[in-house]
Structure 1
């Protein structure tokens, strides 16, 4: 019983970390001109960083490579906000790579809808990596404001897709409990 509760707690913290960076990815695409956005991003990174530490420690204790890859992705993204200079730049490239590893391990180890979500995470994270690399190295096709907004929104959108699909995958232990409860309610219902 205690082990099940521990798994659910780690799953809940992983969901929070994934949702934080999924929502921040969407926010980066839509809220580029709001002056308080960096403060929100900083606070959210602190919360996600704590979640990343919890998931990573639990993954190391359980020797779970899949959870470890996810914990590394969340923790590296959080640390990229707090370390200076070249280390922050290097840490920025770790989350998409770790999410690709998370997705590949999911695809290799699971079946059904979880495998489909693993593919979504893998493809979105790989495209996020490529889009980020291109936006930082290749000049945009136009200097028109509309083009620049679209070009620089693509990595944030792919980040959101990757993390939100990962949120579904890490929520599976929580969803199983809900499914069992719904099944018990259905089987005990007098009217069907």
Structure 2
């Protein structure tokens, strides 16, 4: 998308989608909404899925590999809720791998604070991938309830960190006008 409004719409969609799954990871990690209202989680997942589809379509049109990776991540994660069994498991693995790809593409393509956030996404998503793999394939070291709670709680905070850092990265086009406006106000201020 070449126009500013289109970029902002896609950025807003990507931000909403990443925030939904970041907050989901936080709620799962904290246990507050771990078994929370299913209707709210369903609506949030559907909204994130629609936003992911918008991002994916726009990214495919503009051939933006970073946005394609984020769109695939969000769409696969949202679709995994709608299906069950091995298809859902495959979609979750696709989502995790695509988020790692999003982080790597960010690190390779951007500089400064955005590159640092790209590293945060890459590391958190890779650890999330590995922790999820280990919790599903390796038996826990103990069957004590306390150990099981800790072991199975590890992927959720990693999911939250990866998606929330991705949300900050994709929100940059939305934040640029705010920064420009603040800079304009600062430069025109009488008192500094």
* TM-score interval, smaller chain: over 0.9
For 1:135-186, what per-residue CA distance to the aligned partner results, in whole angstroms no more than 9, with x for missing partners?
0111111222221111111111110010011011101111111110101111
Name the residue aligned to 1:112.
Answer: 112
Aligned to 1:99: 99
Q: Is the 8 A contact 1:53 1:71 kept in 2?
A: yes
The match for 1:130 is 130
Displacement after TM superposition at 1:45 (Å): 0.8
Equivalent residue, structure 2, for 1:69 = 69
Distance 1:3 1:27, change over 3 A: same
Rounded to whole Å, the distance in 1 between the matches of 2:3 and 2:33 is 45
- Residue 28 (structure 1) aligns with: 28
Q: Partner of 2:52 in structure 1? A: 52
What is the TM-score of this pair, normalised by structure 1? 0.94
Q: Which runs of 5+ in 1 are unaligned?
A: none
Please tell me whether the aligned partners of residues 80 and 87 of structure 2 are also in contact (alpha carbons under 8 angstroms).
yes
CA distance in 2, matches of 1:148, 1:39: 28
Decide whether the 8 Å contact of 2:29 with 2:153 is kept in 1.
yes
Instruction: For 2:33 and 2:189, locate their aligned partners in 1 and report how far apart those are by CA, in whole Å.
Output: 52
Q: After the TM superposition, which of the residue ranges 39-48 and 108-117 deviates more from structure 2? A: 39-48
Instruction: Write the deviation string for residues 23-81 of structure 1: whole angstroms up to 9, x where unpaired.
Output: 10111122278643443322211111011011101101111010010010000000000
* Secondary structure of 1:81's aligned partner: helix
Seen in structure 2, the aligned counterparts of structure 1 residues 32 and 85 have a Cα distance that, compared at 3 Å, is: farther
Q: Are the structure 2 counterparts of residues 45 and 36 from structure 1 closer, same or farther at C-alpha, using a change threshold of 3 Å?
A: same
- The residue aligned with 1:42 is 42
Q: Unaligned regions of 5+ residues in structure 2, if any?
A: none
Partner of 1:7: 7
Number of aligned residue pairs: give it. Answer: 191
Structure-1 residue corresponding to 2:159? 159
User: TM-score, normalised on structure 2?
Assistant: 0.94
Distance in structure 2 (CA, Å) of the matches to 1:34 and 1:60: 34
